[in-house]
Structure 1
Amino acid sequence: MARDGTDALDLFRELRPEEQDNLVDGLGCTSPNDGKYRKERHQLDAYLTPRAEWLGMARVQDALLATRVAYGQAPAAALQEFRAATADFSPENMHLLEGRMRHDVLASLAEMGRHLSDETAVLLHPGTTSYDVIDTLRAVLFRDAWSEAVRPVVGGVIHTLCDRAVHDADVLRVGRTHLQGTSPVTFGWHFAQYAARLADRFMRCDDAYANLRGKVRGIVGTGASIEQVVGVGGALGFERDVLAQLGLLPHRGSSQIVPRENLADAAHAIATLGMVLGDFANDIRLLYATGIAEVTTSTDAALLGLSSADATKNNPVNYENVIGKATMLKHLMGIVYELIPSDLERDLTNSVMGRYEPQGMMVMVHEMHARMGERCLPGLTIVRDNAEANLQRVRDNPGEAMTAILRGVEGWRSSTYGPGHDFVNKVAIQAQKDGSRLLDVAMTDPDFAHAYHSQMTETQRAILGGQLELYVGAVPDIIASNVSYARDLAARSFVPAVSVK
């Protein structure tokens, strides 16, 4: 308690009333997406919530009615009336009506009808079935959630990694395979690799979400009921024109539902995007580890205490959070795959699962990238002294470089130990036993000493002497190429399947 009687730890009192209400509501939810990660999830509320779906039903009915007007089968005044009433449609009342009527689309039509004349209300839902509306609106909402909310956050992470790749292009660290040290890479190369990998997935997400499809073909997908309204032979054209208003193409294989393969493609694309970010987070977690300690996060290092038991620890908690979500994505994909079987024209099993995924996956991937962009990358700091100390062991024992150099000396072999790889293995064992540098032990072999002085270039001799800055191969070109590639993809505009006029 402070001297003035206030409690410095009572942060709840500092919130505005609406923020307090939001927090209380969130802490009453069972899903972490709605509670702990509620702040980030709010950016997707306009796309992935029940409210968004209820309002989306009106959006599809608008497209249906507008097409009927264009066909001369409904008066323009009806469309004007519908659009004027849209602001009065209540998602809350639709939800309550569903409880009474036990059908979501019928509930939405009943709520819309409350605000329309009878003459306009009867023009809605022309020969269509509920999943003409639901599958179509979800295709629109999922596409827009990716392009308008998730995509900009992912693009920001890609650009930040590109910036770090350029900034740290020449900063060496030990390369590690099987978690064992070997020839060097640079931190900039590491960042550029992940920028390119994320950009690949970013492009796949663009393609997959743009390829989500809708349908307007009636109860079993034949279009028979649609033709009763728009005329014989007009079903497929009507479907095409309705969906075009929403930026969608029809799926050729629709029954009562849109087949779920395209949805699974989108879920797979965003899951692998999240898993690549999780792979990067795990790399940073490993570089954080005691015994390596080549990176830290400046804000965490300044505070310490990210352990309830050891107040001296600097735990990579945000990176671990990203890793955990990446693991979940892999298993949630199984739910999306289970949406694909349709049991002839459709049953309600996939209706239940479709309320959960891939919406939850999209929320997770959005939060992962927001966390990476806001809490991780801005403070990511290379601990250069530790990176150099770890690298010194490789400078003293450049075994892989020595093997590669000897393989480039035509016909070289040691008369005692054999060809390059066998020779390096034997002298490395001796160097470890003696506590000597690899080059010093190798030079005791006459065949190696001869090759060193007469067959190796000055640069090769410098590399074997520990100047590993000279042994990074095409790293500068790889960084430049990957950064250019990643920036170009992250900067491009999202293009829907159909341009909405």
Structure 2
Amino acid sequence: MKDLFEPVCPLDFRYGRDKMKRILSHPARVRNILKVEAALLEELAEEGLVPPEAAQEVREKATLEHVSLKRVEEIEGEIRHDLMAVVKALTEVCRGDAGRYIHLGVTSYDIIDTAIALQLKDALDVIEEDLKGLIVELARKAKEHRETPMIGRTHGQHAVPITLGLKLSVWTAEFLRHLKRLEEAKARVLVGKMSGATGTGAALKALGVEDTVEFERRLLEKLGLGREEGSTQIVQRDRFNELISLMANISTTVEKVATEIRTLQRTEIGELYEVFDVKSQVGSSTMAHKRNPITLENITGLARMVRANLTPTFESSIQWNERDLANSSAERFTIPHTLILTDDILVKLKGAIGSLGVDRERMLKNLYLTKGAVMAEALMIELVKKGYGRQEAHEVVRRIAMRAQERDQHMLDAALKDGVVGKLFGREELAEILDPLHYIGDSARRCDEVIGLVEKSLGVRI
């Protein structure tokens, strides 16, 4: 008979780090539910509505050392209600009459959504740590290559020269913005609620809580969370939409970087490459010469899975009236899977950047591959400086470039034979103008600017 508990989801055995999995695991969810239930009773005790000794007993027993996950599962199998299964299991282990006060004055999602927020708090701390580590790695690599020349590409074709440092600094700045977005989003995402079945706080009010808003605020502040100002039975899901959208945005940048490196590792380009263990690593089962960028390809696929969670997340925010249960099953996938995979690809990309292979000679060779054609813009600028209008100069250079490409001729030779350019510039001067190494602009300075932003934002020295 097939073992029903054999792993099915690749997160169980292939992808994701244990650190993040522990935070978002089922035991962690139950642990946080217990924590919130205990916090509720402590707050009720402060209001004089629950005996302090009962609150203390619940606090001591609201741990997985006392509440068995197996017992929770057994109870849920009987009553078909996950939260009440935890409440009943906790009640069973409490001495005296302490259990009679558990879950008093609240509804399931007061506890569940607040417990989810506690999980998210820990998970986003890890994502923040990941982003900072990746940003520093990118900034260090950018500084190392701030003056390393390479060809820039647009539409898949050679454009004008840049430096590798500039390319890396573009990615660095983008991740720095993601870090800022994460910091801003925390205040909106890390919120709980304790306002009852339809968000009125009626049960707590009837119980004797004079100001249910302040009661809720105090309780959540002690848990390190914000408060849902306008709740129904649940925390409003625009907050989760923002969270998953941010992870999707981050995953897009991760994939963008991975794809760019993979593109530049193509055999015919060969400028950047993912490290390959030539002693033991196998690239292909049949093509023994292959050195495939498998980590970057892995990152690419997982980034797409992160973004795949956008649709069910947004659809889960649409609820009937003050709530239904259609969000619950989907969120058990979307939230942990999104965060586990985002953490995974950020850490993998950091490793790939730290060990990134750079072929400077190939970069130089590719700079000269078009026989000077990539310097057409530079020549146009020099014609303008000689008095030609910009449009006129552009047309002159365009004709020269097209002619040179048709005849497989160097741009220098084609320009010298041109009736306009040949009269204005000598060979030596024109060779200087058409040298790609003299046309990288302020690449290094722009790279330094981003590095400076990193140092200022993170308080580090690159």
Q: TM-score with structure 1 length normalisation? A: 0.85
In the alignment, the residues of structure 2 paired with residue 367 and residue 489 of structure 1 have an alpha-carbon distance, to the nearest angstrom, of 24
Checking the alignment, whether the CA contact within 8 Å between 2:192 and 2:225 is kept in structure 1 is: yes
Checking the alignment, whether the CA contact within 8 Å between 1:182 and 1:394 is kept in structure 2 is: no
In the alignment, the residues of structure 2 paired with residue 488 and residue 26 of structure 1 have an alpha-carbon distance, to the nearest angstrom, of 52
- Map of 2:282 onto structure 1: 305
In the alignment, the residues of structure 2 paired with residue 363 and residue 183 of structure 1 have an alpha-carbon distance, to the nearest angstrom, of 39
Please tell me the residue identity of whatever aligns with 1:73. Answer: L
- Assess, with a 3 A threshold, how the Cα gap between structure 1 residues 394 and 434 changes in structure 2: closer, same or farther: closer
- Map of 1:419 onto structure 2: 392
Checking the alignment, whether the CA contact within 8 Å between 1:395 and 1:465 is kept in structure 2 is: no
In the alignment, the residues of structure 1 paired with residue 75 and residue 128 of structure 2 have an alpha-carbon distance, to the nearest angstrom, of 35
Cα deviation 1:77-123 (Å, max 9, x = unaligned): 33332232233122332122211121111111111112212432222
Checking the alignment, whether the CA contact within 8 Å between 1:305 and 1:311 is kept in structure 2 is: yes
Deviation at residue 127 of structure 1 after TM alignment: 1.1
Given the alignment, which residue of 109, 123, 132 partners 2:101?
123
- Map of 1:381 onto structure 2: 357
In the alignment, the residues of structure 2 paired with residue 489 and residue 91 of structure 1 have an alpha-carbon distance, to the nearest angstrom, of 43
Q: Which moved more, 1:121-130 or 1:286-295?
A: 121-130
Deviation at residue 409 of structure 1 after TM alignment: 4.4
Determine if the alignment matches structure 1 residue 294 to structure 2 residue 271. Answer: yes
- Assess, with a 3 A threshold, how the Cα gap between structure 1 residues 227 and 30 changes in structure 2: closer, same or farther: same
Determine if the alignment matches structure 1 residue 438 to structure 2 residue 411. Answer: yes
In the alignment, the residues of structure 1 paired with residue 96 and residue 203 of structure 2 have an alpha-carbon distance, to the nearest angstrom, of 22
In the alignment, the residues of structure 1 paired with residue 22 and residue 32 of structure 2 have an alpha-carbon distance, to the nearest angstrom, of 10
CA RMSD of aligned residues (A): 2.3
In the alignment, the residues of structure 2 paired with residue 178 and residue 72 of structure 1 have an alpha-carbon distance, to the nearest angstrom, of 70
Cα deviation 1:173-201 (Å, max 9, x = unaligned): 11010110121111111111111101111
Determine if the alignment matches structure 1 residue 58 to structure 2 residue 34. Answer: yes
- Assess, with a 3 A threshold, how the Cα gap between structure 1 residues 488 and 48 changes in structure 2: closer, same or farther: farther
Deviation at residue 261 of structure 1 after TM alignment: 0.4
Checking the alignment, whether the CA contact within 8 Å between 2:400 and 2:418 is kept in structure 1 is: no
Please tell me the residue identity of whatever aligns with 2:290. Answer: K
- Assess, with a 3 A threshold, how the Cα gap between structure 1 residues 319 and 45 changes in structure 2: closer, same or farther: closer
Equivalent position SS for 2:185: helix
- Map of 1:178 onto structure 2: 155
- Assess, with a 3 A threshold, how the Cα gap between structure 1 residues 346 and 443 changes in structure 2: closer, same or farther: same
In the alignment, the residues of structure 2 paired with residue 452 and residue 477 of structure 1 have an alpha-carbon distance, to the nearest angstrom, of 30
Checking the alignment, whether the CA contact within 8 Å between 1:26 and 1:36 is kept in structure 2 is: no
- Map of 1:480 onto structure 2: 448
- Map of 2:234 onto structure 1: 257
Given the alignment, which residue of 401, 409, 416 partners 2:378?
401
Checking the alignment, whether the CA contact within 8 Å between 1:158 and 1:486 is kept in structure 2 is: yes
- Map of 1:8 onto structure 2: none
Checking the alignment, whether the CA contact within 8 Å between 1:401 and 1:463 is kept in structure 2 is: no
- Map of 1:105 onto structure 2: 83
Cα deviation 1:349-400 (Å, max 9, x = unaligned): 11111111122111111111122223x2232111122111111125622123
Cα deviation 1:175-228 (Å, max 9, x = unaligned): 010110121111111111111101111221222233222111111111111111
Q: Which moved more, 1:290-299 or 1:72-81?
A: 72-81
Please tell me the residue identity of whatever aligns with 1:46. Answer: R
Deviation at residue 490 of structure 1 after TM alignment: 4.6
Please tell me the residue identity of whatever aligns with 2:35. Answer: R
Checking the alignment, whether the CA contact within 8 Å between 2:192 and 2:220 is kept in structure 1 is: yes
Q: TM-score with structure 2 length normalisation? A: 0.92
Equivalent position SS for 1:363: helix
Please tell me the residue identity of whatever aligns with 1:60. Answer: V
Checking the alignment, whether the CA contact within 8 Å between 2:192 and 2:228 is kept in structure 1 is: yes
- Assess, with a 3 A threshold, how the Cα gap between structure 1 residues 285 and 424 changes in structure 2: closer, same or farther: same
Given the alignment, which residue of 197, 200, 205 partners 1:227?
205
In the alignment, the residues of structure 2 paired with residue 400 and residue 247 of structure 1 have an alpha-carbon distance, to the nearest angstrom, of 57
Checking the alignment, whether the CA contact within 8 Å between 1:221 and 1:255 is kept in structure 2 is: yes
- Map of 1:16 onto structure 2: none
Q: Which moved more, 1:247-256 or 1:344-353?
A: 247-256
After superposition, residues 248-397 of structure 1 pair within 5 angstroms as 248-300=225-277, 305-374=282-351, 376-394=352-370, 396-397=372-373
In the alignment, the residues of structure 2 paired with residue 439 and residue 32 of structure 1 have an alpha-carbon distance, to the nearest angstrom, of 57
Checking the alignment, whether the CA contact within 8 Å between 1:275 and 1:326 is kept in structure 2 is: yes
- Map of 1:134 onto structure 2: 112
In the alignment, the residues of structure 2 paired with residue 157 and residue 363 of structure 1 have an alpha-carbon distance, to the nearest angstrom, of 16
Equivalent position SS for 2:105: coil
- Map of 1:240 onto structure 2: 217
Segments of 5+ residues of structure 2 without an aligned counterpart are: none
Equivalent position SS for 2:340: helix
Equivalent position SS for 2:332: coil
Q: Which moved more, 1:346-355 or 1:283-292?
A: 346-355
In the alignment, the residues of structure 2 paired with residue 377 and residue 306 of structure 1 have an alpha-carbon distance, to the nearest angstrom, of 20
In the alignment, the residues of structure 1 paired with residue 42 and residue 239 of structure 2 have an alpha-carbon distance, to the nearest angstrom, of 27
Given the alignment, which residue of 394, 416, 438 partners 1:470?
438
- Assess, with a 3 A threshold, how the Cα gap between structure 1 residues 296 and 268 changes in structure 2: closer, same or farther: same
In the alignment, the residues of structure 2 paired with residue 315 and residue 84 of structure 1 have an alpha-carbon distance, to the nearest angstrom, of 54
Cα deviation 1:324-357 (Å, max 9, x = unaligned): 1122222211111011111101111111111111
Identity of aligned residues (%): 27
Equivalent position SS for 2:11: coil
In the alignment, the residues of structure 1 paired with residue 5 and residue 106 of structure 2 have an alpha-carbon distance, to the nearest angstrom, of 40
Deviation at residue 303 of structure 1 after TM alignment: 5.1
- Assess, with a 3 A threshold, how the Cα gap between structure 1 residues 29 and 209 changes in structure 2: closer, same or farther: farther
In the alignment, the residues of structure 1 paired with residue 205 and residue 275 of structure 2 have an alpha-carbon distance, to the nearest angstrom, of 65
Please tell me the residue identity of whatever aligns with 1:426. Answer: R
- Map of 1:3 onto structure 2: none
Checking the alignment, whether the CA contact within 8 Å between 2:371 and 2:409 is kept in structure 1 is: no
Deviation at residue 471 of structure 1 after TM alignment: 1.3
Q: Which moved more, 1:365-374 or 1:306-315?
A: 365-374
Please tell me the residue identity of whatever aligns with 1:251. Answer: E
In the alignment, the residues of structure 1 paired with residue 417 and residue 451 of structure 2 have an alpha-carbon distance, to the nearest angstrom, of 45
In the alignment, the residues of structure 1 paired with residue 278 and residue 432 of structure 2 have an alpha-carbon distance, to the nearest angstrom, of 35
In the alignment, the residues of structure 1 paired with residue 282 and residue 276 of structure 2 have an alpha-carbon distance, to the nearest angstrom, of 12
